[in-house]
Chain A
Amino acid sequence: MSDTLVPVTVLTGYLGAGKTTLLNRILTENHGRKYAVIINEFGELGVDNDLVVDTDEEVFEMNNGCICCTVRGDLIRIVGALMKRRTKFDGIIIETTGLANPAPVAQTFFVDDDIRAKTRLDAVVTVVDAKHLPQRLLDSHEAEDQIAFADVIVLNKTDLVTADELVAVEAQIRRINKFAKIHHAQKSNVPIAELLDQGAFDLNRVLAHTPDFLTDDEHEHNDDIASMSFEVKTPIDPEKFNAWIGGLLAQQGQDLLRTKGILSYKGDNRRFAFQAVHMIADGDFIGPWKDGDPRVSRLVFIGRNLNRPQLRRGFEGCAA
């Protein structure tokens, strides 16, 4: 992927989790980089930065027949305008409201051609409050969605819980999202290098951090969000894969919050990166396989009502 694309970090988290504290920390730390910050106008705390854009989160449904395809129109306008002074900043950080579903934000970066041509979604960073997360998960869908969407999770306020509670809350996060990196924090004190420029869609790296590939087959409740990973060692036939994943996303896209994968296509020396948010998918070659690396195709799903045998059979059926 080209370095000329502006990296975009999406910062989500429930009210009071420490999102704005983290944002101010990112902005004031001496890293020599400048960020344009897009915040919602109902933010509780001030943000200290030269380039702050206040916005209404304006979600609209695309007229493309896809029922879950919602997009943030305000981001399309604002990011488009920011690109007209591209040289003034190094990256964009988008803070969402606590109650926001991250899907429309992420989908915006897939759906709009102008934005796709000039930016790349670097990572979704979700801040959660170690003490209150269990309650949030009981009373709100959004808290669960925000964890499911995360590439990086800041498990904040660990000083307010016991060691046992911390283990329990981390396990709870892992049940929803096995693949995100988790950082423990107090007052949002995470090294900035762990949050920005993650290249979280450099999936090799994400997948490398997945120790329990194919090992975990616990029972999932249908209504809960779960994450599953699959791998196929023989090369993939692109046409078979497109047909299968296209049908799967069309049928089950509402349940599939995020799908990501690295594929080894038959007869191609390059890694193919695939990702989707609900029904909206995108894919591109991201450079060659390294010599000696096993050419294994991997796919992960985060969503509801995941049927492991069915997904495995489907993916394995894409072998060339």
Chain B
Amino acid sequence: MSLPTPDFLLETRGAHRELDAFVVATVFDRAGGTAAFACGDGSVRLVGVADREEWRTVMAHDGSVLALSSDCARVGFLSGGDDGKLCRIGMEHTVLAGFGSKWVERVASFADEKQRILACAVGKTVHVLGENGAVLKRLEHPSTVTGIAFDAKGKRIAASHYGGASLWFVASKTDNPRKLEWKGSHTGVAIDPAGENVVTSMQENSLHGWRLSDGQHMRMSGYPSKTQAMSFTKSGKWLATSGAESVVLWPFFGGGPMGKAPTELAGGDSATCSFVVCNPKHEAVAVGFSDGLVVLADITTSRIVPVVAPGRGAISAMAWSPDGAFLAFGSETGFAAVVDFTSRD
């Protein structure tokens, strides 16, 4: 038997399209039945995981789509664009809110049995909205918000900006954030699954973190380029990051990441890791590179499985379905794919 080709998984278990536009973001809906790809031409492309040959195009924004998230309902998506609009994309496409000439640069949602809320970052403001789009809160920041993240329970929302990050209680009546300060330009934010640490990516090719229990600073540096994507593993033990020639995994256990060297996986080629996303069910991370290569790295065993061979543009977006069975990804040159990782006996 011959060795499988690097495209083996894509060819046998995947569906793909050339979208002819920069893939800005991708995400699955909460039910996991549909993957959405947000594009630089203002469109959002949808494909069902069951029928992967049927791709639908929704012209969501006049301009570029800047941000994409799953909606808080089981199905549907939220998108933000440089037309200043926050849109809901389901069977229909509706404008939830408009912000004039300001860009809607980040969107997020949270849903559990108790609450369903949305958030979007527009300039210096994070708007927290109810499921119906009604504004619940406006959270003001000292400079433009570059990243937002809900914690795993939907109680807090973190926003990155110049000089650090702000951590807000969503339900609090007094709107004063906990200020996490560190000089410089912070370009994105992540919260670990236990809600104990906040990490930002920075303009200066490094990460900065704060342990919330005691405010301990964490400096994670050494990247040759900027970190575009950060993702905690399911257990919260590892933070996977892009920006180096390999996927860089920082240990958030045993006293780390302070004073600990990160683990590097899937390195070796000259390409830079451009995107990462951790599987929601297993200690594994999908890794995309600037040459178009996509691999799956098992963190426990260090085993690397190729998903797509290089050559279809720098990977610019990746997402897992909530059950961890499907991986979606897209590239700067408009290649988009969904690959099925369900076990077949």
Mark A residues whose CB is within 8 Å of B. Answer: 51-54, 56, 58, 60-64, 71, 73-74, 76-78, 81-86, 112-114
Tell me, rounded to whole Å, the shortest Cβ–Cβ distance linking B170 to chain A.
25
Q: Are B226 and A53 in contact (CB under 8 A)?
A: no
**Does B204 make an interface contact (CB < 8 A)?**
yes
- Chain B, 54-81, CB within 8 A of any chain A CB: 63-64, 66
Q: B123: shortest Cβ distance to chain A, in Å? A: 7
> How far does the Cβ of A97 sit from chain B's closest Cβ, in whole Å?
16
Q: Are A62 and B143 in contact (CB under 8 A)?
A: no
Q: Do B203 and A61 touch across chains, with their CB atoms under 8 A apart?
A: no
Q: Assess the B144–A77 pair: CB atoms within 8 A.
A: yes
- Contacts A84-B64, A85-B40, A85-B41: A58 and B144 contacting too (C-beta < 8 A)? yes
- In Å, the complex CA distance between A148 and B184 comes to 28
Partner of A54, one of B40, B101, B162, B202: B101
Q: Contacts A85-B21, A86-B40 given; 6 further ones with Cβ under 8 A?
A: A54-B102, A56-B123, A73-B143, A73-B144, A77-B105, A82-B64
Q: A73-B144, A81-B66, A85-B63 are in contact. Are A114 and B226 (CB under 8 A)?
A: yes
**Which residues of chain A are within 8 angstroms of B124 by Cβ–Cβ distance?**
56
A53 contact set on B, CB distance < 8 A: 82, 101, 103
CB pair A84–B22 under 8 Å, yes or no, is yes
Q: B110-147, CB under 8 A of A: which get 1 and which 0?
A: 00000000000001100000000000000000011010
* Distance A54 CA – B22 CA, assembled complex (angstroms): 23
- Min CB distance B304 to A, Å, is 27
- How far is it, in angstroms, between the C-alpha of A113 and the C-alpha of B22 when the chains are bound? 19
Residue of A nearest to B183 (CB): A63
Q: Contact between B22 and A60 (Cβ–Cβ < 8 Å)?
A: no
Q: Given the complex of chains A and B, what is the CA–CA distance between A41 and B341 in angstroms?
A: 48
Q: B82 — which chain A residues lie within 8 A by C-beta?
A: 53, 81
B187: chain A residues at CB < 8 Å are: 77
Taking a contact as CB atoms under 8 Å apart, the answer to whether B184 and A84 are in contact is no
Assess the B203–A85 pair: CB atoms within 8 A. Answer: no
Contact residues in A for B184 (Cβ distance below 8 Å): 60-63
Which of A58, A86, A114 is most buried by chain B, counting CB atoms within 10 A of its CB?
Answer: A58
Q: Bound complex: CA of A54 vs CA of B82, how far in Å?
A: 11
Q: What are the residues of chain A within 8 A of B22 when measuring CB–CB?
A: 83-86
Check if A113 sits within 8 Å of B226, measured CB to CB.
yes
Judging by beta carbons under 8 Å apart, are B64 and A73 in contact?
Answer: no
User: What total of chain B residues lie within 8 Å of the partner, measured CB to CB?
Assistant: 29
Q: Is the CB of B162 within 8 A of A84?
A: no
What residues of chain A lie closer than 8 Å to B24, measured between beta carbons?
Answer: 84
Cα(A81)–Cα(B42), bound, Å: 12
Chain B proximity of A22: nearest CB distance (Å): 21
User: Would B63 and A60 count as touching, CB distance under 8 A?
Assistant: no
A285 to B313 CA separation, bound complex (whole angstroms) = 27
B21 nearest in chain A by CB position: A85
Contact of A58 among B102, B143, B202 (CB under 8 A): B143
Q: Enumerate chain A residues within 8 angstroms of B64, measured Cβ to Cβ.
A: 81-82, 84-85
Inter-chain contacts of A52 with B (CB < 8 A):
101
Assess the A64–B204 pair: CB atoms within 8 A.
yes
Q: Would you mind naming 18 contact pairs between A and B with Cβ atoms under 8 Å apart?
A: A53-B82, A56-B124, A56-B143, A58-B143, A60-B184, A62-B184, A63-B204, A73-B203, A77-B144, A77-B187, A81-B64, A82-B64, A84-B22, A84-B40, A84-B64, A85-B40, A86-B22, A112-B203
Give chain A residues whose Cβ lies under 8 Å from the Cβ of B144: 56, 58, 73-74, 77
Closest to B101 in A: A54
Could you give, for residues 84-125 of chain B, a 1 whenever the CB lies within 8 Å of some chain A CB and a 0 otherwise? 000000000000000001110100000000000000000110
A61 interface neighbour in B41, B63, B101, B183, Cβ under 8 Å: B183
Our pick among A56, A64, A113 for the contact of B225 (Cβ within 8 Å) is A113
Q: Which residue of B lies closest to A74 (CB)?
A: B144
For residue B42, which residues in chain A have a CB less than 8 angstroms away from its CB? Answer: 85
| Closest Cβ–Cβ distance, residue A174 to chain B (whole Å) | 37
- Given contacts A73-B162, A84-B24, A84-B64, are A62 and B204 in contact (CB under 8 A)? yes
Contacts A52-B101, A54-B102, A84-B64: A62 and B226 contacting too (C-beta < 8 A)? no
The residue that B203 contacts in the complex, of A62, A83, A84, with Cβ under 8 A, is: A62
Q: By the criterion CB–CB under 8 Å, are A81 and B162 in contact?
A: no
CB contact under 8 A between A58 and B162, given known A74-B144, A85-B40, A86-B22: yes
Least distance between A81 CB and chain B CB atoms (Å): 6
Binary CB contact string for chain B from 200 to 224 against chain A (1 if under 8 A, 0 otherwise):
0011100000000000000000000
Return the chain B residue nearest A76 by Cβ. Answer: B203
Residues in chain B near residue A58, CB distance under 8 A = 143-144, 162
Chain B nearest CB from A111 CB (Å) reads: 8
B273 to chain A, nearest CB (A): 15
**Cβ of A84: which chain B residues have Cβ within 8 Å of it?**
22, 24, 40, 64
In the bound assembly, the distance between CA atoms of A85 and B82 in angstroms comes to 11
- Distance, CA A230 to CA B97, complexed state (A): 58
Task: Please measure, in the bound complex, the distance between the C-alpha atom of A51 and the C-alpha atom of B183, giving whole angstroms.
Answer: 33
- A78 to B101: give the CA distance in the assembly, Å: 13
Complex CA distance for A64 and B183, rounded to whole angstroms: 11
Tell me the bound Cα distance from A84 to B21 in angstroms.
8
Shortest beta-carbon distance from B186 to chain A in Å: 10
- Interchain CA distance A296-B41 in the complex, whole Å: 47
Least distance between A58 CB and chain B CB atoms (Å): 5
* C-alpha gap A54/B99 in the complex (Å): 12
Q: Which residues of B contact A60 (CB under 8 A)?
A: 162, 184-185, 203
The distance in angstroms between the C-alpha atoms of A60 and B202, with both chains bound, is: 12
Closest Cβ of chain A to B80, distance in Å, is 11
Contacts of B21 in A (CB 8 A): 85
Q: Shortest CB–CB separation between residue B105 and chain A, in angstroms? A: 7
**Closest Cβ–Cβ distance, residue A118 to chain B (whole Å):** 10
Chain A residues, Cβ within 8 Å of B146: 77
